[in-house]
Amino acid sequence: MIITNIESIPGREVIEHYGIAQGSSVRAKHVGRDFMAGLKNLFGGELRGYTELLSESRDEAMERMIKQAQSMGANAIVNVRFSTSAITVGASEIFAYGTAVKVQ
Amino acid sequence: MIQLGFVLILLIAGYIFGTAREKSHFISLRDREQKLNMISWRSTGKKEVFEGVSESTLVMGHVVIGQDYFKSFLAGLINLVGGRVSVYETLLDRGRREALCRLRQVAKDWGGTEVVNVRFETALIGQNQGKQRAGAVEIFAYGTVVK
């Protein structure tokens, strides 16, 4: 599966379009992580727990998008975009979407 | 009185540790940016036809970065009078550069030469219940690396 966020796959020709493939993931952090992050927030700097959490979440959203594209029969996704939103306090949604295509 | 003392200690600790960490972060950013010189990046290229490019893939880099207690307190004070909130400007600058560094590092490890169509996204994370103070921001950068 080749994924890009531009409108083509360089060096390949798009032969078929399948429409939008999407994947999302809503995650909340657990209390321990939250507490540690709060503690770290006093001194500033990177909050590693949250960085990891969001990268897991983003990987999951991407995986779901890829699965959907595969079920359509695509072998590439172009023009991928991401959006993040805070649903409630302590949980955020990561959404990934793109156009599933078949390339040579 | 005890509460006031506690806040004061937090402010001082936040100031000392926060400033030290910010300083070392800027130094490390400068070093890494120099090492990643050969990976150029641009925000254009969405509809470009690439000649002589054999492979491409999506790359991402992100970081969640928090403000220290002293600076968020200061931001609260600045909020009263308005104007430039420079303590948050440096925080976001650090975050963006860090995310971009990570993205370019992934691109380098992959063996790429250039990252095109780079996009940034910023999201507020872990806002404390009811409190106005922003807990942390996530800065996410993504683009397509070609070789």
Please name the helix (run of DSSP H) or strand (run of DSSP E) that holds residue B80, with its range, or none: helix B69-81
Convert the pLDDT of each residue in B48-86 to its tens digit: 888 888 899 999 999 999 888 888 888 888 889 988 988
pLDDT bracket for residue A20 (50, 70, 90): very high
Contact A47 B65 (CB under 8 A): yes
Q: Residue A52 carries which side chain, given as an amino acid letter?
A: E
Average pLDDT rounded to a whole number, residues B36-48? 92
Tokens of B38: 């050969």
pLDDT at B130: 47
CB burial readout A37-74, b (16+ within 10 A) else e:
beebbbbbbbbebbbebbbebbebbbebbbebbeeeeb
Angle, vertex CA B82, rays to CA B129 and CA B137, nearest 5? 40
Identify all chain A residues contacting B58, using CB atoms and an 8 Å cutoff: 3-5, 80
Contact B136, B66 (CB under 8 A): yes
Contact A85 B65 (CB under 8 A): no
For residue A89, what is the DSSP state?
T
pLDDT for B12 beyond 50: yes
Identify all chain A residues contacting B42, using CB atoms and an 8 Å cutoff: none
Q: What pTM was computed for the model?
A: 0.89
Phi, psi (degrees; rounded to nearest 5) at B124: -80, 135
Average pLDDT, chain B: 89
pLDDT at A6: 94
ipTM confidence score = 0.88
Contact B28, B101 (CB under 8 A): no
HSE-up of B129 (CA within 13 Å, CB side)? 2
Strand partners, A24: A95
pLDDT for B1 beyond 90: no
pLDDT at B10: 86
* Token pair 């975009």: residue: A81
Convert the pLDDT of each residue in B85-115 to its tens digit: 888 999 999 999 999 999 999 999 999 999 9
Measure A5 CA to nearest chain B CA, in Å. 6
pLDDT bracket for residue B30 (50, 70, 90): very high
pLDDT at B41: 94
Contact B18 A44 (CB under 8 A): yes
| A38 contacts: CB under 8 Å, gap ≥ 6 | B128, B135
Contact B143 A92 (CB under 8 A): no
Instruction: Please tell me which residue of chain A has the smallest CA distance to B62.
Output: A51
Q: For residues B106 and B100, give the distance between their C-alpha atoms in angstroms, rounded to a whole number.
A: 10
Identify all chain B residues contacting A101, using CB atoms and an 8 Å cutoff: none
Measure B18 CA to nearest chain A CA, in Å. 5
Q: For residues B88 and B80, give the distance between their C-alpha atoms in angstroms, rounded to a whole number.
A: 15
Please name the helix (run of DSSP H) or strand (run of DSSP E) that holds residue A15, with its range, or none: strand A14-28
Contact B135 A5 (CB under 8 A): no
Instruction: Please tell me which residue of chain A has the smallest CA distance to B10.
Output: A42
Average pLDDT rounded to a whole number, residues B9-14? 88
Identify all chain A residues contacting B60, using CB atoms and an 8 Å cutoff: 58
Contact A47 B119 (CB under 8 A): no
Measure B144 CA to nearest chain A CA, in Å. 5
- B100-103 long-range contacts (CB < 8 A, ≥24 apart) are B100/B41, B100/B61, B100/B141, B101/B29, B101/B32, B101/B33, B101/B36, B101/B61, B102/B61, B102/B62, B102/B63, B102/B141, B103/B41, B103/B59, B103/B60, B103/B61, B103/B141, B103/B142, B103/B143
Convert the pLDDT of each residue in A68-100 to its tens digit: 999 999 999 999 999 988 777 767 889 999 999
Identify all chain B residues contacting A41, using CB atoms and an 8 Å cutoff: 66-69, 135-136
